[in-house]
């Protein structure tokens, strides 16, 4: 093997090429260090041949490691790369097990609707409250401010219910068991069933369980009464004196009702069904809010009954409020205003009124003033007008609340 290497390197000097063969031959001339030490008489130069075998083996291994590998992928044909061409894509086998599809995250936004009517109300004006000489906001609300304490739109004074019964009060929506409060100081003169039929204990009476309070003050020299009907429980007794805000009973649905609520009335003179007036002209409005009062008549000057009026605040025109004029029956207009329509709890501001008359839509703009009555008329000849009510008659004596003596029980 040494001879083969020598023959391969023959004629090549160390200065011409520092090849591996030449270096191996040069190392053969060095004295051995830590190499094979066995010697045999039959083999001359045994130590050198042993070392050469080791070097030759290392040389073969080095050449083998530097050679390209052909053991793996020998049966694959390399893909030619063509300049300017697109790379060829091979189909990828899909997994046998399907992977779940993840739904993309989406925001679902609700469709904007109409602006809701807020249930918030400011505190009421202190009672008695009267900006003009003809106002008489003498009573507080019979339901506390932390509940609904304004009239239901469909159950105002002068409406028609149960086919032919004219509503002589206002209905205030409240949950059953809500405390009912006295609207003013006075004495309880009735606390039982049978108010309408005047038959105490009559459980079939349409008012159900009801309480009547005769107040310590009057109007135009006449007594004032407030009625609280459809109670689930009566707490006071006849002859008991109550103050404003005292609990009289609890909201219920006794009598002729379609659900729990409070029926509230204001009566003057005598405690009868036919001497009622619109409670929205007698209960104090929220601070900064006012009351719309109107008289709508036809070409003959007669009041139009159950006529629809739309009221919209500007500039938003929302929320829309609808109110009907009084029906014919046991209802009474205020002696001064002679109205047939009242809409209370209107925030102060500019409003658009709309009425359909003789197949035409007629609109009008007016301003609601805080703590006051805004009065308008509608006639066939002049349409809408904001004018003062007609002068009071001689038998009408407007003024402050008249104090009347209340007999002690």
Q: What are the phi and psi torsion angles at 23 (to 5°)?
A: -70, -35
Judge whether 243 and 187 are in contact, CB under 8 Å. Answer: no
pLDDT band (50, 70, 90) for residue 202: very high
With H, G, I as helix, E, B as strand and everything else as coil, classify residue 129: strand
pLDDT of residue 360: 95
Q: Rounded to an integer, what distance in angstroms lies between the CA atom of residue 365 and that of residue 218?
A: 36
- The more confidently predicted of residues 53 and 129 is 129
Distances from the Cα of 328 to the Cα of 76, 277, 306, 325, angstroms: 104, 14, 9, 10
**Averaged pLDDT for residues 310-327:** 95
Q: What is the DSSP string of 359-378?
A: TEEEEEEEEEPTTSEEEEEE
Distance of CA 83 to the CA centre of its chain: 66
Residue-wise over 70-99: b if at least 16 C-beta within 10 A, else e?
eeeeeeeeeeeeeeeeeeeeeeeeeeeeee
What separation, in Å, do the N-terminal and C-terminal C-alpha atoms of the chain show? 145
Top pLDDT among 57 and 245 is at 245
pLDDT exceeds cutoff 50 at 72: no
Q: Across the chain, which distance is largest between two alpha carbons, in Å?
A: 164
* Burial bucket for residue 272 (CB in 10 Å: 0-12, 13-18, 19+): exposed
Which string of b and e fits 168-191 if b means at least 16 CB within 10 Å? bbbbbbbeeebbbbbbbbbbbbbb
Q: Which residue has the tokens 């038998």?
A: 395
pLDDT of residue 37: 44
| Residue 106, pLDDT above cutoff 90 | no
Mode of pairing for the β-strands spanning 308-313 and 289-296: unpaired
Q: Measured in whole angstroms, how far is the alpha carbon of residue 316 from the centre of its chain?
A: 18
Length of the chain as a residue count: 409
**pLDDT for 145:** 86
Residue 249: beta bridge partners? 180, 234
Q: Check residue 398 and give its pLDDT.
A: 44
Which residue in this structure is represented by tokens 């109107």?
294
Give residue 95's pLDDT band: very low, low, confident or very high (50, 70, 90).
low
Q: What is the pLDDT of residue 100?
A: 62
Instruction: Answer whether 0.85 is exceeded by the pTM.
Output: no
**Which CATH superfamily includes the segment(s) 160-403?**
Glucose Permease (Domain IIA) (2.70.70.10)
Whether residue 213 is predicted with pLDDT greater than 60 in this model: the reply is yes
Handedness of CA 117, 122, 128, 133 (dihedral sign): negative
Share of the chain above pLDDT 90, in %: 58
Q: What pLDDT is attached to residue 149?
A: 84
Would strands 373-379 and 289-296 be described as parallel, antiparallel, or unpaired?
Answer: parallel
At residue 391 the predicted structure's pLDDT band, cuts being 50, 70 and 90, is: low
- Other beta carbons within 10 angstroms of residue 195's beta carbon come to 26
- Supply the pLDDT for residue 110: 52
Are the C-beta atoms of 192 and 200 separated by less than 8 Å? yes
Mean pLDDT of the chain, nearest integer: 80
Q: Is 267 helix (H, G, I), strand (E, B) or coil?
A: strand
> Is pLDDT at 312 greater than 80 in this prediction?
yes
Which stretch of DSSP H or E encloses residue 357?
Answer: strand 349-357
- Where do we find the tokens 């002679």? 338
Where are the extended beta strands (E) located within 112-221?
A: 160-161, 165-166, 170-173, 179-181, 186-192, 209-219
Question: What tens digit of pLDDT does each residue of 346-384 get?
Answer: 999 999 999 999 999 999 999 999 999 999 999 999 999
Q: What is the pLDDT of residues 2-16, one digit of tens each?
A: 454 445 445 545 444
pLDDT reading at 334 higher than 80: yes
Each domain of the chain, given as residue ranges in start order, spans: 2-59, 160-403
The span from the CA of 77 to the CA of 80, in Å, is 9
> In this predicted structure, which of 30-39, 100-109, 192-201 has the lowest mean pLDDT?
30-39
Contact present, 213 and 226 (Cβ < 8 Å): yes
Q: What is the pLDDT of residues 29-67, one digit of tens each?
A: 444 444 444 444 444 444 455 555 676 677 676 666 555
- More confidently predicted of 402 and 271: 271
The confidence score (pLDDT) of residue 4 equals 47
**For residue 82, is pLDDT > 50?**
no
User: Mean pLDDT throughout 146-169?
Assistant: 87
């Amino acid at each position: 093997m040494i001879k083969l290497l020598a023959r391969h390197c023959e004629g090549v000097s160390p200065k011409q090429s520092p090849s591996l063969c030449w270096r191996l031959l040069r190392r053969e001339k060095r004295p051995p260090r830590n190499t094979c030490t066995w010697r045999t008489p039959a083999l001359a130069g045994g130590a050198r041949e042993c070392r050469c075998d080791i070097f030759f083996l290392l040389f073969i291994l080095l050449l083998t490691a530097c050679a390209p590998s052909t053991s793996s992928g020998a049966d694959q044909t390399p893909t030619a790369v063509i300049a300017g061409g697109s790379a060829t894509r091979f189909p990828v086998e899909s997994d046998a097990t399907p992977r779940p599809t993840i739904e993309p995250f989406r925001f679902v936004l609700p469709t904007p609707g109409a602006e809701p009517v807020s249930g918030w109300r400011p505190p009421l004006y202190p009672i008695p409250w009267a900006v003009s000489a003809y106002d008489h906001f003498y009573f507080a609300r019979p339901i506390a401010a932390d509940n609904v304490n304004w009239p239901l739109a469909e159950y105002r004074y002068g409406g028609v219910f149960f086919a032919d019964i004219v509503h002589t009060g206002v209905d205030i929506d409240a949950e059953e068991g809500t405390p009912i409060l006295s609207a003013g100081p006075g004495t309880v003169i009735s606390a039982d069933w049978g108010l309408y039929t005047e038959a105490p204990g009559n459980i079939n009476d349409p008012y159900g369980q009801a309480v009547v309070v005769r107040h310590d003050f009057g109007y135009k020299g006449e007594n004032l009464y407030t009625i609280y009907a459809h109670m689930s429980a009566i707490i006071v007794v006849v002859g008991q004196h109550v103050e404003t805000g005292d609990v009289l009973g609890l909201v219920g649905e006794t009598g002729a009702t379609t659900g729990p609520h409070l029926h509230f009335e204001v009566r003057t003179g005598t405690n009868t069904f036919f001497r009622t007036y619109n409670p929205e002209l007698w209960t104090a409005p929220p601070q900064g809010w006012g009351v719309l009062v109107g008289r709508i008549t036809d070409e003959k000057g007669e009041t139009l009954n159950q006529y629809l009026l739309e009221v919209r605040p500007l500039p938003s025109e929302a929320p829309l409020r609808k109110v009907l004029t009084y029906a014919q029956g046991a209802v009474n207009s205020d002696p001064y205003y002679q109205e047939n329509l009242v809409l209370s709890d209107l925030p102060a501001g500019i409003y658009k009124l709309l009425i359909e008359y003789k197949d035409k839509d007629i609109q009008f703009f007016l301003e609601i003033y805080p703590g006051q009555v805004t009065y308008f008329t509608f006639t066939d000849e002049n349409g809408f007008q904001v004018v003062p009510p007609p002068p009071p008659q001689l038998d009408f004596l407007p003024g402050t609340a008249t104090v009347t003596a209340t007999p002690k029980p």
